[in-house]
Structure 1
Amino acid sequence: MGLAIALLAFQGYLGYSAISGQFGIESREAIHNDIQVLKDKSSALQAEIDSFEHRNSLMNPRHLDPDIVTERARALLNMANADDILVMVDPTTGKPISGKFEELTDGELIKIIEDGSTL
């Protein structure tokens, strides 16, 4: 009789684990959501790796792209040509620092300089 009760209790435990346990039926949705989140992170990281590999291939000494070389040289030396259009970008967000892109008149520019404010 004691053995039958122990086996029934063990079956009850297994049934409870199959339904509500860590890997049970109720936890299945959460596990699938975690898998999807990890797949999304993996694809984002793969895109970043591909981007770095592309930039690395552009810096190959046998096949240097002249535009990339001049871009890097100007960035390192803080130099620009007179006909270049410069857009200052916040490195943390990747967005332009100023939202005002139209050309300022002399009066507006002088007022900004005298006030000590930024664009």
Structure 2
Amino acid sequence: STALTPTLGPTVQYLEAVHDGTGRVQLTWAWNGETVAHHIYRNGDIIGVTEATDFSDRPPMSGVNTYTVQPVSEDRTYQRGTDDVGVLVNDVDVVTPAPALGLGYGLGGLMILVLLLLQILALRQGGGRT
């Protein structure tokens, strides 16, 4: 009788997720198999596909995000080749620019001028009275 010895197939290894402090998470990993597509999941939802061994993401919410890298080829999904990692994304301070004061004042002044001209024209025509 022939004994079958199962072997472990290729796997995603050394998966790392680094938050850069500006809202971006950089994923890197090693893959020891043939060229495949890597499906990237954030908290269980697919967010991208790449053949590379890195991926960049901007999660929409702060808190702990769990990333999963799932290798897939044309004929199979490497269920046991998957790896996942969690990363804490802190609140990101988004600096919004102040409104442009010059343009705002200019447009406001122009609107006042137009309204004054319309009033003068209405008065010259008798205010529309017959």
Same fold? TM cut 0.5 = no
TM-score for both structures, normalised by structure 1: 0.31
Higher helix share: 1
Higher strand share: 2
TM-score for both structures, normalised by structure 2: 0.29
